[in-house]
Amino acid sequence: MTGIIDRFEGGFAVVELPDGIQNFALSDCPLGLSEGQVVIIEGGSITGIDEAATAARAEKLRSRFAHLKRRSDG
């Protein structure tokens, strides 16, 4: 399963999952996590970062913002 890191709160990574939001203790997470990353969840823990999905998501967001900016400038 994958999820998206929404934010960090009080020693937890708050992750958006398809069926809701779940907190994961940062002490059990891989180093280098940041907001907006797509993470891989196995056995109830964050086991890694899906770099390809994170890059695709970031590009999609950049494209949306560029489109909105063009519309507001015109």
pLDDT in tens, 4-63: 999 999 999 999 999 999 999 999 999 999 999 999 999 999 999 999 999 999 999 999
Number of Cβ within 10 Å of residue 48's Cβ equals: 13
Query: By residue range, what is the domain housing residue 7?
Result: 2-73
In angstroms, the CA 30 to CA 51 distance is 14
- How many domains does the chain fold into? 1
Give residue 14's pLDDT: 98
- What average pLDDT does range 58-69 have in this prediction? 93
45 and 32 Cβ atoms separated by less than 8 Å:
no
Exposed/middle/buried for 41, CB within 10 Å: 0-12, 13-18, 19+?
Answer: middle
CATH code where residue 24 lies: 2.30.30
pTM score of the predicted model? 0.88
